[in-house]
A and B are shown apart, each in its own frame.
Chain A
Amino acid sequence: MEWLTDNPFAPVLLACALSAVVLSLVAFLIKSDFVASAAPPAIFLIGYYETYQKAPPFPPVGSTNKIFYIALFATVGGFVLDRIAAGPLPRAAASFVVSLLAAVWIAFARLDSPDAELIVTGSSLILLGALVLWRVDMIARAVEPEGGGAVALALLAALAAIFAPVALFGGSSTSVGLCLGFSAGLAICSLSLMLAPRSLGTIAVLGAGGGLLAVIATVVLITGEADLIALALVALSPLLGPFGVMLLPRTLRGSSALVWVATGIAALSPLPVIATLLFLRHENPLGQ
Chain B
Amino acid sequence: MRLPSLTVVVALAGLVVASPSSAADYKIDPNHSHILFLVDHLGFAKIIGLFTNFSGAISFDPANPTASKLNVAIKTASLQTQFPPRDSDLKGADWFNVREFPQMTFVGSTFTKKDDNSGEIVGNLTLIGVTKPVTLEVTFNKMGKRADGADAVGFSARGSLKRSDFGMKTAIPYIGDQVDLMIETEATR
Of B97, B99, B167, which contacts A54 at CB under 8 A? B167
Place the interface of chain A in its size category. Answer: 20 to 34
Find chain B residues with CB under 8 A from A56 CB. 167
Interface string of B167-189 (1 = CB under 8 A from A): 10111101100000000000000
Q: Taking the nearest CB of chain B, how far is it from the CB of A235, in angstroms?
A: 20
Is A8 an interface residue when CB atoms closer than 8 A count as contact? yes
Find chain B residues with CB under 8 A from A269 CB. none
Name the residue on B nearest A106 (C-beta): B93
Interface string of B85-111 (1 = CB under 8 A from A): 110110111110101110000000000
Cβ–Cβ contact A222 & B169, under 8 A: no
Find chain A residues with CB under 8 A from B172 CB. 53
Of A7, A218, A285, A287, which contacts B93 at CB under 8 A? A218
Find chain A residues with CB under 8 A from B175 CB. 8
Residues of chain A whose beta carbon lies under 8 Å from any beta carbon of chain B: 6-8, 51-54, 56, 61-65, 109-110, 169-175, 218-219, 222-225, 282-285, 287-288
Docked complex Cα distance between A160 and B32 (Å): 47
Give 27 CB contacts A-B under 8 Å.
A7-B174, A8-B171, A8-B174, A51-B170, A61-B129, A61-B130, A62-B100, A62-B128, A109-B99, A169-B85, A170-B88, A171-B92, A172-B89, A172-B92, A172-B93, A173-B89, A174-B94, A174-B95, A219-B92, A222-B97, A222-B100, A223-B93, A282-B85, A283-B84, A285-B88, A287-B85, A288-B85
Q: Taking the nearest CB of chain B, how far is it from the CB of A162, in angstroms?
A: 20
With A56-B167, A109-B100, A110-B99 already in contact, the answer to whether A175 and B94 are too (CB < 8 A) is yes
Name the residue on B nearest A215 (C-beta): B93
Cβ–Cβ contact B91 & A171, under 8 A: yes
Cβ–Cβ contact B89 & A224, under 8 A: no
Name the residue on A nearest B174 (C-beta): A8
Cβ–Cβ contact B100 & A63, under 8 A: yes
Nearest 8 A-B pairs (CB), nearest first?
Answer: A285-B85, A223-B92, A171-B88, A174-B94, A61-B129, A171-B92, A288-B86, A53-B169
Docked complex Cα distance between A287 and B41 (Å): 13
Of A53, A62, A224, A283, which contacts B85 at CB under 8 A? A283
Name the residue on B nearest A67 (C-beta): B93
Interface string of B118-140 (1 = CB under 8 A from A): 00000000001110000000000
Name the residue on A nearest B47 (C-beta): A288
Name the residue on B nearest A109 (C-beta): B100
Find chain A residues with CB under 8 A from B84 CB. 283
Q: Taking the nearest CB of chain A, how far is it from the CB of B128, in angstroms?
A: 6
